[in-house]
Chains A and B, each alone.
Chain A
Amino acid sequence: MHEQIGEHILWQWPVFGTVHADTIMTTWLVMIISLVFFAWVGASYRSAYVSKRQTVAEGVINYIADLAMSTLGERGEPYVPFFISLFIFIFLMNQFGIFPFKVLGLPFGGSPTADINTTLPLALIVFFLTWIVGVRMNGPKQFLHVTKPNVLLTPINIIEELARPATLAARLFFNIFVGELLFIIIASIITAKVQIGPLNLSLAVTVVPFLIQFFNFFVGTVQAFVFTLLAIVYLSLATAEDH
């Protein structure tokens, strides 16, 4: 079996050491696609009437914006574009794994979010955003938040703060990774030519990837949404005036 679990194309870079080439190239490809797409959507804003693509894009954007504004209140308005771009970027990265570029021998393909090196920086962005915004709003007494209900609970609060980016990264990574793992398992059953009595299991199991792809589409959408919503909730917890 050629495809291995967790196998990446490696590059040797002078400063960074060994990097995953396919993850980096796919991430840049997704960035280019989303920039071109939003330039295309934004071009319709130059004319006076409302075009169809503008209406569809504003449906998604208004949904996230209403959610952020209802959770964060008025003071969350400057951060709404960040959450919208976070949602759309993660959504596109999750759904990019549907294209079988790697099978064609190209050096990119697969979901970049099936690599923990993509999801952990995204979670760290959210972690530092919550702390920097909290310090800008409340001043240095933001750090007293960890002692809040009682001073005795400080260690538990610090562990909770540190566990947030870890669980945020692990949740997104494992959901997308297991989706790709299931394909490899099905492929190994197909190539093993299993015959149980009159039933050709390898032939019967070829229907399953269609169902798995549907499940992956659902999981990719829900996980992008959950990541964005948890980022909103963490920011609202950090910027709350009083507990």
Chain B
Amino acid sequence: MTSEALVAGLTLLAFGIIVAAVAFGSAIGDGIVASKAVEAIARQPEARPNIFTFMFLGVGVLEAFPIIGLGLGFYLLLSVANVPNLLTHLH
């Protein structure tokens, strides 16, 4: 196995692990935020606009981390290792 193939394969594996981890974590976090918001609205329906405001604040803050993870993953894949370039030179 050439070193280019090794680098390309390991970078693709790292990219998959990064994306899977951030998707897993943010899905759990979003689910907790949404379920608590639904509980709060069921308990106090008249506070619904306020709860929606803070639910979107929570989702917005939370959504930043998977996006940052995805951005750094793409940076690793396309800029640092340049996997598409490596794959075209493989064979």
- The answer to whether A and B come from one shared complex is yes
Query: What is the total number of residues of chain A having a CB less than 8 Å from a CB of chain B?
Result: 20
The reply to whether the CB of B86 lies closer than 8 angstroms to some CB of chain A is no
Known: A222-B56, A225-B56. A171 touches B71 (CB 8 A): no
- A residues 166-207 near B (Cβ < 8 Å) are 167, 170-171, 174-175, 177-178, 181, 185, 188
The reply to whether the CB of B1 lies closer than 8 angstroms to some CB of chain A is no
The reply to whether the CB of A211 lies closer than 8 angstroms to some CB of chain B is no
| CB pair A175 B56 closer than 8 Å | no
The reply to whether the CB of B13 lies closer than 8 angstroms to some CB of chain A is no
Smallest CB-CB separation from A188: which chain B residue?
A: B84
Smallest CB-CB separation from A223: which chain B residue?
A: B60
| CB pair B79 A5 closer than 8 Å | yes
| CB pair A175 B67 closer than 8 Å | yes
The reply to whether the CB of B53 lies closer than 8 angstroms to some CB of chain A is yes
Residues of B within 8 A of A219 (CB): 63
Residues of B within 8 A of A181 (CB): 71, 74
| CB pair B53 A226 closer than 8 Å | no
Cross-chain contact of B71 among A167, A178, A223 (Cβ < 8 A)? A178
| CB pair A178 B67 closer than 8 Å | yes
| CB pair A226 B71 closer than 8 Å | no
The reply to whether the CB of B21 lies closer than 8 angstroms to some CB of chain A is no
| CB pair A170 B64 closer than 8 Å | yes
The reply to whether the CB of A84 lies closer than 8 angstroms to some CB of chain B is no
Known: A5-B78, A5-B79, A226-B61. A174 touches B71 (CB 8 A): yes
Interface-centre pick from B56, B57, B60, B71 (highest chain A CB count, 10 A): B60
Known: A67-B53, A181-B74. A222 touches B68 (CB 8 A): no
CB distance from B36 to the nearest CB of A (A): 18
The answer for the CA separation of A23 and B68 in the assembled complex, in Å, is: 21
The answer for the CA separation of A180 and B24 in the assembled complex, in Å, is: 23
The reply to whether the CB of B76 lies closer than 8 angstroms to some CB of chain A is no
| CB pair A174 B64 closer than 8 Å | yes
The answer for the CA separation of A225 and B54 in the assembled complex, in Å, is: 11
| CB pair B68 A170 closer than 8 Å | yes
The answer for the CA separation of A181 and B71 in the assembled complex, in Å, is: 8
| CB pair B64 A178 closer than 8 Å | no
The answer for the CA separation of A86 and B60 in the assembled complex, in Å, is: 17
| CB pair B64 A175 closer than 8 Å | yes
The reply to whether the CB of B59 lies closer than 8 angstroms to some CB of chain A is yes
The reply to whether the CB of A229 lies closer than 8 angstroms to some CB of chain B is yes
A-B CB contact pairs (8 Å), 8 listed:
A171-B64, A174-B71, A188-B84, A225-B56, A225-B57, A226-B60, A226-B61, A230-B57
State the B residues within 8 Å of A (CB): 53, 56-57, 59-61, 63-64, 67-68, 70-71, 74, 78-79, 84
Given A177-B71, A178-B71, A226-B60, 6 other A-B contacts at CB below 8 A? Answer: A5-B74, A67-B53, A171-B61, A171-B68, A174-B64, A230-B61
